[in-house]
Amino acid sequence: MEKKSTAATQSIPSATPLFLLGDAPLVSGMRTSMALLAASAALLLMVSLAAAADMSIVSYGERSEEEVRRMYAEWMAEHGSTYNAIGEEERRFEAFRDNLRYIDQHNAAADAGVHSFRLGLNRFADLTNEEYRSTYLGARTKPDRERKLSARYQAADNDELPESVDWRKKGAVGAVKDQGGCGSCWAFSAIAAVEGINQIVTGDMIPLSEQELVDCDTSYNQGCNGGLMDYAFEFIINNGGIDSEEDYPYKERDNRCDANKKNAKVVTIDGYEDVPVNSEKSLQKAVANQPISVAIEAGGRAFQLYKSGIFTGTCGTALDHGVAAVGYGTENGKDYWLVRNSWGSVWGEDGYIRMERNIKASSGKCGIAVEPSYPTKTGENPPNPGPTPPSPAPPSSVCDSYNECPASTTCCCIYEYGKECFAWGCCPLEGATCCDDHYSCCPHNYPICNTKQGTCLAAKDSPLSVKAQRRTLAKPIGAFSGIAIDGKKSSA
196: left (phi over 0), alpha (psi -120 to 50) or beta: alpha
Pairwise CA distance, residues 285 & 280, whole Å: 9
Active-site pick, 185, 315, 366, 411: 185
158 is catalytic: no
Strand, coil or helix: 342: coil
433: β partners: 442
* Residue 440 and residue 454 in contact, taking contact as beta carbons nearer than 8 Å: yes
Pairwise CA distance, residues 187 & 228, whole Å: 8
Other residues' Cβ atoms within 10 Å of the Cβ of residue 425: 25
Active-site pick, 321, 403, 427, 450: 321
Pairwise CA distance, residues 333 & 463, whole Å: 41
Active-site pick, 107, 341, 403, 445: 341
182 is catalytic: no
* Residue 243 and residue 261 in contact, taking contact as beta carbons nearer than 8 Å: yes
403 is catalytic: no
Strand, coil or helix: 149: strand
Strand order in the sheet with 448-450: 448-450, 455-457, 465-467
| All residues at 6 or more sequence positions from 360 whose CB lies less than 8 Å from its CB, including other chains | none
DSSP one-letter code for 461: T
Enzyme catalytic residues: 185, 321, 341
